[in-house]
Structure 1
Amino acid sequence: ALHHEGKCSIYGARPLQCRAYPFWPEVAGSREAWEAEAVLPDSVKGPGPRWSALTGGCEGLSKDAAWIPGPVAALRQLEYAMYDARRLAATEATAASTARGGERQ
């Protein structure tokens, strides 16, 4: 949801998928996709793509910046590992609670 200034109202508590953006495989997987996601920050004057709630985009990317697949891939692997560890911990906690008859710790 967007707040009155048109910005994300849950940015501070955004889910992992949002935190990982723009390092999603479909964005970081190719130079073309990376460049297509780049939009101009509001502070930059002149023509060019801008972020909107309908079209999205990432103001932190630059079409002129180097696209480096190695670090992007490494970051994705780390994020997936962190996600898997949290998911496994939650699954184990649920299983333990179920085994105890649903009582809380």
Structure 2
Amino acid sequence: MGLTKTENFSTEQNELAIIIKALGHPARIAIVDYLLKVDACICGDIVNELPLAQPTVSQHLKELKNAGIIKGNIEGNAICYCIDENTINKLKGYFDTMVSTLDKKNLKCC
């Protein structure tokens, strides 16, 4: 497999790629949807919501956390997760710019 040569791209492009890649799995989308619905939760709650084993959910949580999409605080012997609004605002800005640019160009696709 070839190298990705990430150094050839801007910091913003690399950051957005990491975030979007982390969202590229339906289980992670389900976790984000659940966190948006409840505003914050304990890992056990997430495991109860998904048809996945606890270690699998933990791995998905780790990927989301590494990408900055969620953040977690230790509360006793559990970790409370929530959405990292800064990362979501970064994504929103990117997609807002994309939509705005497309609207201005009024592009017609083949």
TM-score tier by shorter-chain length is 0.3 to 0.5
Q: Which has the higher strand share?
A: 2
| Structure with more of its chain in helix, by fraction | 2
Larger RCO (CA under 8 A, 6+ residues apart): 2
Q: TM-score with structure 2 length normalisation?
A: 0.38
Answer with 1 or 2: which has the greater Rg: 1
Superposition TM-score, scaled by structure 1 size: 0.39
